[in-house]
Structure 1
Amino acid sequence: MRTTAAVLRDVVHERPYQDSRPVTVEELELGAPREGELLVRVAAASLCHSDLSVVNGDRVRPLPMALGHEAVGVVEETGPGVHRVAPGDHVVLVYVPSCGFCARCAEGRPALCDRAAAANGSGGLLHGPSLLTDAAGRTVHHQLGVSAFSSHTVVAQESVVPIPDDVPFTVASMFGCAVLTGAGAVINTAALRPGQSVVVHGLGGVGLSAVLGARAAGAYPIVAVDPVAEKRALALRLGATHAYAPGEALIATRDLTGGGAELAVEAVGSPAVMGACLQSVARGGRVVSVGLPAPDRVLDVPALAFAGEGKSLLGSYMGDAVPRRDIPRFLDLWRAGLMPVEEMHTGTVALSGINEAMEELASGRAIRQVVDTSGLLISV
């Protein structure tokens, strides 16, 4: 069948992106689901900074690539052996299709699945190579096994989590990456306890989701840090107790917490911010890094911070989430009013406006824009 998709053919550094137009909207041929795969009509796909990192080359991926990894859709067809979902089911798409059998999956860390990492790195799917070809018959790679900026996509059954039909598409679209990564970093990686203090650096979708996770976990105080005043104001509405610009954050955090926070979350992808986070935590404090820096960036911090001060620096990929466990429970927190992710929705765009949306994200103005990929969004 044919699908309309947003395709990146070459890395582009030139901005503004509405002028350089790195992403083209193309008609692609999409193969039928193989064993263990399913066809999904994508209803809403959120634009994440990880997508932008592929466009500007910070995340090296095989090109050309059909972009998009954070989305929700409706199952239209299932291949042989698919038993988790059926046509008509609403599903959140997950960008790590954990196999369930490798060493990482066996130890309860499916976000680090070895087979998924290999499939995602190759631009294929968990059960086989890419199913996308362009008008010239050339292979187009999948982004993280999802390629959600498309009217339709084929994914592994391990890449979906069924959700109730009454969850709005614009809400559900954020649970496959932003919420899993940000809230998961606080709740899963850091195992935050009620009453512990938290500082979150970087208030994009992932950082604000970390604020939501800290609020749901009962943290106090929750300090939000970002250079953009509007993002700091939003963080306060979402549950942060204090918000500061970066230049004010260190002294303010130490004053609020009596010497330093117990947990800092780095959601920028900057070695300098990682260093600032290590400075902002108390002796014995933990830093969880969820931002994705360019591969050539190097972290330079005082080595004494670890053995001498007992501090920890933890990496967190996809919030150390178990999607089939965490997406339903995070949705329950949304229903309870504890994770109002709809507050992060800063606009809805058509697929044809993908380059303009990329520029909004790169400029720092947008948090989570939702792409209406196939006309299923009735209202915004």
Structure 2
Amino acid sequence: MKAALLTAPKTPLEIVDAQTDNPMPHEVLIRTVACGVCRSDLHFADGAFPHPMPVILGHEAAGVVEKVGSEVTTVKPGDHVVTFFTVFCGKCDMCLSGKYTLCTSSAIRRPDGAPPRLTLDGDPLAQFINLSAYAEQMLVHENACVAIDKEMPLEKAALLGCAVLTGAGAVFNDSKVRPGETVAIIGCGGIGLSAINAAKIAGAGRIVAIDPIASKRELALKIGATDAMDPMEDNATKSLLKSSGGGFDHAIECVGQPATAEMAWNILKRGGTATILGMIAPGKSVSIPGHTFLSAKKLQGSLLGGCVPPIDLPRLVQFYLRGDLDLDLMVAEEIRLDGINGALDGLRQGDTARSVIRFD
């Protein structure tokens, strides 16, 4: 199968012919149809986050089941599926308490001594966050994918696996936005746009999109934001506090920088909640003045929007099919696998919403 391989940080991905093993009892072999190019991939490609190498990147994908292991009961060959990187075992304390995205059980990995899932000329390849989706096939644990309605276009369904689960989940599950509340979204990439769309679905009274790139602010207004602001303006935080009448009920940070996480905290009203979705690199810290905790504001992290994928993914599909969830505006371009390095460069420049790799 063709795959995009990263051999060292800050080097271009190479298109190689890799191999997948046969599915073990609880594994699924998927023919990849589409994969979004997410900024999270860029963090690893550029070395901000460490990962074993060589590795096939990619984690936001959809495809068709080709083969299943002997004990798989959740999907069957021919099913259309969306994959997600937070594989769950369904049996540990985290899973049984409903925190599926926080499962770290070793049961979802291959046992010691088993052959690797991915190889290149006989040598093992690292699997990227349980998926490795920049490839024509994915071999994953059965609890890393969910079957969806076949009416859902797979090139749009791919976005559900990360950007939409993360952004929409932060609104619905972590922040629990209620009708009439005010929401600020910092960063209008795929995750931020998904959060804006979800806030609109949730009935938020005011949704302010905050991004330094004018084209992204325009896109945010089309997808559901009521207002948009450039955070590079002078006294941006003071302006946001003034225009919101003293602060927002919710601020959702989708960038992954200390400064934007601090902004999320600083633009809250008393008792408001800041939810940090961006990946702040190791070694970086967020500074919060101690006395501001007396305002009863809350700061929380999030992983994949606190979703339970077997429940949330089919619901998001229905949101799209009935016209509530606008994924079409999120896709900046469709590319082939050999265009992956150009798409990553676009993310580095910050001037694109989402590139989607098409394998069909």
The TM-score bracket by the shorter chain reads over 0.9
Where does residue 11 of structure 1 map in the other structure? 9
* Paired residue secondary structure (1:332): helix
Confirm or deny: 8 A CA contact 1:66 1:149 kept in the other structure: yes
1:83 to 73, 82, 94: 73
Deviations 1:199-243 (A, max 9, x none): 000111011111011111000110000000000000000000000
Where does residue 202 of structure 1 map in the other structure? 187
Task: Please list, as runs of the form range in 1=range in 2, the aligned pairs for 1:121-270 lying within 5 A after superposition.
Answer: 130-135=116-121, 137-248=122-233, 249-270=236-257
* Paired residue secondary structure (2:130): coil
Confirm or deny: 8 A CA contact 2:331 2:356 kept in the other structure: yes
Task: Please list, as runs of the form range in 1=range in 2, the aligned pairs for 1:85-100 lying within 5 A after superposition.
Answer: 85-100=75-90
* Paired residue secondary structure (2:77): coil
Unaligned stretches of 5+ in structure 1? 13-20
- Cα distance 1:314–1:216, how it changes in 2: closer, same or farther (>3 A)? same
Task: Please list, as runs of the form range in 1=range in 2, the aligned pairs for 1:39-118 lying within 5 A after superposition.
Answer: 39-115=29-105
Where does residue 338 of structure 1 map in the other structure? 324
Where does residue 275 of structure 2 map in the other structure? 288
2:265 to 263, 278, 303: 278
TM-score with structure 1 setting the length: 0.91
Q: Which amino acid aligns with 2:281?
A: A
Confirm or deny: 8 A CA contact 1:170 1:342 kept in the other structure: no
TM-fit CA distance, 1:125 = 5.5
Unaligned stretches of 5+ in structure 2? none
Confirm or deny: 8 A CA contact 1:58 1:293 kept in the other structure: no
Confirm or deny: 8 A CA contact 1:125 1:145 kept in the other structure: no
* Paired residue secondary structure (1:174): helix
2:22 to 32, 39, 43: 32
Q: Which amino acid aligns with 1:283?
A: R
- Deviating beyond 6 angstroms after TM superposition, the runs of 4 or more aligned structure 1 residues are 126-129
Confirm or deny: 8 A CA contact 2:32 2:61 kept in the other structure: yes
Where does residue 329 of structure 1 map in the other structure? 315
Confirm or deny: 8 A CA contact 1:126 1:145 kept in the other structure: no
- Cα distance 1:188–1:129, how it changes in 2: closer, same or farther (>3 A)? farther
* Paired residue secondary structure (1:333): helix
Q: Which amino acid aligns with 2:90?
A: G
Q: Percent identity?
A: 38
TM-score with structure 2 setting the length: 0.96
| Distance across 2 between alignment mates of 1:73 and 1:187 | 26
TM-fit CA distance, 1:73 = 0.2
TM-fit CA distance, 1:269 = 0.3
TM-fit CA distance, 1:106 = 1.1
| Distance across 1 between alignment mates of 2:201 and 2:292 | 29
Deviations 1:265-303 (A, max 9, x none): 010001111111111011111100000011111111101
Aligned-residue CA RMSD (Å): 1.6
Q: Which amino acid aligns with 1:6?
A: A
Confirm or deny: 8 A CA contact 2:6 2:45 kept in the other structure: yes
* Paired residue secondary structure (1:114): coil
* Paired residue secondary structure (2:18): strand
| Distance across 1 between alignment mates of 2:119 and 2:148 | 30
* Paired residue secondary structure (1:305): helix
* Paired residue secondary structure (1:77): strand
Where does residue 296 of structure 2 map in the other structure? 310
| Distance across 2 between alignment mates of 1:272 and 1:100 | 37
